[in-house]
Amino acid sequence: MLETISEHKSFDGIQGFYRHQSAVVGLPMRFAVFQPPQARQQRVPVLFYLAGLTCTEETFAIKAGAQRVAAREGLMLVTCDTSPRQTGIPGESDDWEVGSGAGFYVNATQSPWARYFRMYDYVLGELRETVLAHFPAVAARCGIFGHSMGGHGALVLALRNPQVYRSVSAFAPICSPSRCPWGRKAFTRYLGEDQAAWASYDAVELLTAGGARVFPEILVDQGLADKFLPQGQLLPELLEQACAAVGQPLRLRRQEGYGHDYYFIATFIEDHLRFHAQALGAQAAA
């Protein structure tokens, strides 16, 4: 059953916030949907956005300024929470890098996280199926993008499921979590010490193992004033190398002066939405 938390008219479309009982996660989950004005007459392409550490389903909807462009391009936008909440796991909210707000879009296999932290299956299956069942989206015209931890999630979900997602882009993604402090910490907690289990959630490893082009193009924006770049958390150069090695076209744009924030995302959101609209065959407003 879908519960409507609130709905708001925006650029002649509807920005809504919703809650449902998730069978995959085993707890209530919240998500947001922007329906462009075109959705009143026909089903429209749908673009899923995965947010970063500490964010919720509201962050992108409030801060990115995406509704104006999505309304013009005829794109439905879906955002979800970044983890299960109020699981009862001791210390789940004590560390912003693991636990609440930090699901890393994996299916955890290690106790105590494995019971609830199944964000990969939730996004790929249940969230998508719920949206398709309750909103006028076209199942065969789905794209995915994200920021930071969510950029990692978007790349992984797309590379593993190109039959589901027809387009993928990212803002400042964690490109190779197996090799950065954030990822190694989270993967150890969620997936265990065996690093072989990490590879299926690492975009660089997936590209290298696949050995071939998956998408016509991947779009990535990276701010050069991003404080996490010199810390080795994002590693865009490894994504660039992996794409070059297997012939996967990558448009990696290094943006001078921009950081790891929603000012950066809002600046380039139009480019990303137009990129997806073209790939998904969206119909712009007249």
Catalytic residue among 10, 148, 167, 176: 148
Give Cα separations from 164 to 37, 138, 144, 150, 232 (angstroms): 24, 11, 10, 17, 31
Task: Tell me if residue 226 is catalytic.
Answer: yes
Catalytic residue among 81, 202, 221, 226: 226
Distance CA(194)–CA(211), nearest Å, equals: 23
Rounded to 5 degrees, φ, ψ at 40 are -75, -25
Distance CA(149)–CA(79), nearest Å, equals: 14
Type and span of the H or E element at 45? strand 44-50
Q: Are 169 and 154 in contact (CB under 8 A)?
A: yes
Region class of 154: left (phi > 0), else alpha (psi between -120 and 50), else beta: alpha
Type and span of the H or E element at 145? strand 137-147
Q: Which of 216, 199, 210 is nearest to 242 (CA)?
A: 210
Task: Tell me if residue 147 is catalytic.
Answer: no
Task: Tell me if residue 93 is catalytic.
Answer: no
Q: Are 51 and 79 in contact (CB under 8 A)?
A: yes
Q: Can you name the residues that pair with 49 across neighbouring β-strands?
A: 79, 145
> What amino acid occupies position 19?
R
Q: Using only the alpha carbons of the chain, give its radius of gyration.
A: 18
Catalytic residue among 152, 260, 272, 276: 260
Give the active site residues: 148, 226, 260
